[in-house]
Amino acid sequence: MNLNGIKLTWLGHATFRIETPGGQTVLIEPWVMGNPKCPESEKELKKVDVMLCTHGHGDHIGDAVAIAKKYDPKVVGIPELVTWLKNKGAKQILPMNKGGTQTVGDIKVTMVDARHSSGIQDGNEGIYGGEPCGYVIEFENGVKIYHAGDTCVFGDMQIIREIYAPEIALLPIGDHYTMGPREAAYACNLLKPKTVIPMHFGTFPQLTGTPAELKKLVTDIEILEMKPGQTVT
Ligand code: NI
Ligand code: MN
């Protein structure tokens, strides 16, 4: 895998911090301080320029409000979700919807489909969070990374390959709430990236899928098993 100046750090579960070659910090899935898999040393972020949210569940946006207030990032997401975040104190929101691309600082962000649910738990209230999504991020050096969000496998992943051809795919493999290794292996076949980084496993007892199971099923694509807090460059 050649990231050509990008630094990608897994903060555990579905959360990634990516530093662009130009020095911007992109946070995908703002679940950091409350994330039991995030190493203590990584919980204090230096800065966040752009924050991407895939859906309203607590294990993805659990710290979104706190991070938005502290770092004032540009917040990208589906309109219903980012409008809720604005009402909670996010100052810069960049709503978008599926199929669209927008340039945010150093990166081009395309919102793509994901098959899941997306309610927001706001105290005792359940709020409609819009639809869940994934993202294809294109960096200024041409590298494209796909973050699938929470999803099952779906046939239109082939469209993601045909239009965007991301070389790196961040795929959930934990099972129960998302694809497990069996489905993720099928997703690898549809997406045909160079490298897959498994995520959304092991955080809770129900998330039983493992990278080892995926590696057994996928032999022609690099499965890069990261440790929470690890950075690849
Ligand atoms: Ni979810
Ligand atoms: Mn989740």
Taking residues 154-181, report their average pLDDT. Answer: 98
Beta bridge mates, 108:
103, 138
Alpha-carbon gap, residue 66 to 125, rounded angstroms: 19
Ligand with smallest separation from the Cα of 116? 1
Question: What pLDDT does 166 receive?
Answer: 98
Question: What pLDDT does 189 receive?
Answer: 98
Token pair of 168 as six digits:
């790196």
29, 60 in Cβ contact below 8 A? yes
Q: Which domains does the chain have, with CATH numbers?
A: 7-232 (3.60.15.10)
Q: Is 91 left (phi over 0), alpha (psi -120 to 50) or beta?
A: alpha
DSSP code for 131: -
Measured in angstroms, how far is the CA atom of residue 113 from the centroid of ligand 2?
15
Kindly state the percentage of the chain with pLDDT values over 70.
100
Measured in angstroms, how far is the CA atom of residue 57 from the centroid of ligand 1?
5
Q: Is the full-model pTM beyond 0.95?
A: yes
Measured in angstroms, how far is the CA atom of residue 153 from the centroid of ligand 1?
14
> Model confidence at 204, in pLDDT bands (50, 70, 90)?
very high
Measured in angstroms, how far is the CA atom of residue 174 from the centroid of ligand 1?
12
Alpha-carbon gap, residue 58 to 204, rounded angstroms: 13
Q: Please provide the DSSP assignment of 168-194 as one string.
A: EEEEE---SSS--HHHHHHHHHHH--S
104, 74 in Cβ contact below 8 A? yes
Question: What pLDDT does 2 receive?
Answer: 83
- Over 90: is that where the pLDDT of 13 sits? yes
Measured in angstroms, how far is the CA atom of residue 22 from the centroid of ligand 2?
30
Taking residues 184-198, report their average pLDDT. Answer: 98
Q: Which of 156, 146, 147, 152 is nearest to 180 (CA)?
A: 152
Alpha-carbon gap, residue 22 to 25, rounded angstroms: 9
Taking residues 211-219, report their average pLDDT. Answer: 98
Question: What pLDDT does 222 receive?
Answer: 98
Question: What pLDDT does 48 receive?
Answer: 98
Report which secondary-structure segment, H or E, holds 64. helix 64-71
Alpha-carbon gap, residue 85 to 174, rounded angstroms: 27
- Over 90: is that where the pLDDT of 216 sits? yes
Measured in angstroms, how far is the CA atom of residue 192 from the centroid of ligand 1?
24
Question: What pLDDT does 28 receive?
Answer: 98
- Over 90: is that where the pLDDT of 1 sits? no
Question: What pLDDT does 4 receive?
Answer: 92
Tens digit of each residue's pLDDT (9 = 90 or more) over 96-146: 999 999 999 999 999 999 999 999 999 999 999 999 999 999 999 999 999
Q: What is the mean pLDDT of the chain?
A: 97
> Model confidence at 162, in pLDDT bands (50, 70, 90)?
very high
